[in-house]
A and B are shown apart, each in its own frame.
Chain A
Amino acid sequence: MEFFFDWFRVLNQETGVNLPFLYDSYDRNRIFNGFLTTIWLSLVCLFFSVIIGVIGAWLQASSFKITRRIVNGYIQLFRNTPPLVQLYFFYFAIGTMLPRVENDWGGQSPLLGSFAWAAISLSFFAGAFNVEIFRSGIEAVPKSTVEAAEALGFSKLQIYKDITLPLAFRVVLPALNNNLVNLVKTTTLAYAIAVPELLYEANQIWSDNVNVTEMMIFLLLAYFVLVGVLVGGMNRWERSMKIPGYG
Chain B
Amino acid sequence: MTLKTIKMLATVVVASTIGLASASADVLDTIKERGKLIVGVKADYKPYGFLDTSGAVIGIEPDLASDVAAKLGVEVEFVPVVSSNRMQFLEQGKIDLMIATMTDKPDRRDVVLIPDPNYYSSGTNILSLKSLGLKEWEDLRGKPVCGIQGAFYNKATSQNYGAEIVAFKGTAEAYSALKAGNCAAFVYDDSAIVAKTNDPEWADYEMPLPTIDDAPWGLAVQLGEGNFAALMSEMIVDWHKSGRILELETKWGVANTPFAKAMNEKYK
Contact = CB atoms under 8 A, between A and B. Distances in A.
B145 to A, nearest CB: 10
B184 to A, nearest CB: 5
Interface string B142-182: 11000001111011000100000111110001001101111
A142 interface: no
B108 interface: yes
A109 interface: yes
B149 A207 contact: yes
B111 interface: yes
A194 B168 contact: yes
A212 B182 contact: no
Contact of A194 (B110, B132, B155, B166): B166
A114 interface: yes
B132 A95 contact: no
Contacts of B87: 210
Nearest to B174: A194
A105 B140 CA distance: 9
A207 B152 CA distance: 7
B237 to A, nearest CB: 28
Nearest to B152: A208
Interface string B213-256: 00000000000000000000000000000000000000000000
Interface string B85-122: 00110000000000000000001101100000000000
Chain B CB within 10 Å — which of A92, A108, A204 has the most? A204
A153 interface: no
A191 to B, nearest CB: 9
B84 interface: yes
A42 to B, nearest CB: 21
B124 to A, nearest CB: 14
A92 B169 contact: no
Contacts of A26: 155, 159
Given A194-B167, A208-B152, A105 B184 contact: yes
Nearest to A100: B181
A194 B177 contact: yes
B169 A192 contact: yes
A113 interface: yes
B42 to A, nearest CB: 15
Nearest to B168: A194
B82 to A, nearest CB: 10
Interface residues of A, number: 25
A203 interface: yes
Contacts of A103: 181
A209 interface: yes
B83 interface: yes
Contact of B110 (A92, A96, A200, A210): A210
Given A26-B159, A105-B142, A106-B132, A210 B184 contact: no
B88 A207 contact: no
A113 B181 CA distance: 10
A107 interface: yes
B129 interface: yes
A114 B166 contact: yes
A207 B110 contact: no
Nearest to A26: B159
Contacts of B111: 210
A204 B149 CA distance: 7
Contact of A105 (B84, B143, B149, B166): B143
Contacts of B173: 92
A208 B154 CA distance: 9
A112 to B, nearest CB: 10
Interface string A187-219: 000001110000010011001111010000000
Given A194-B177, A212-B88, A207 B184 contact: no
B179 to A, nearest CB: 8
22 contacts: A26-B155, A26-B159, A92-B176, A92-B180, A96-B179, A106-B132, A107-B129, A107-B132, A107-B181, A109-B180, A110-B180, A110-B181, A113-B182, A194-B166, A203-B149, A204-B154, A204-B165, A207-B151, A207-B154, A208-B155, A210-B87, A210-B107
Given A103-B181, A106-B132, A207-B149, 4 more contacts: A26-B155, A107-B129, A207-B152, A208-B152
Interface of A: 26, 92, 95-96, 100, 103, 105-110, 113-114, 192-194, 200, 203-204, 207-210, 212
Nearest 3 A/B pairs, CB to CB: A207-B150, A109-B181, A194-B166
Interface of B: 83-84, 87-88, 107-108, 110-111, 129, 131-132, 142-143, 149-152, 154-155, 159, 165-169, 173, 176-177, 179-182, 184
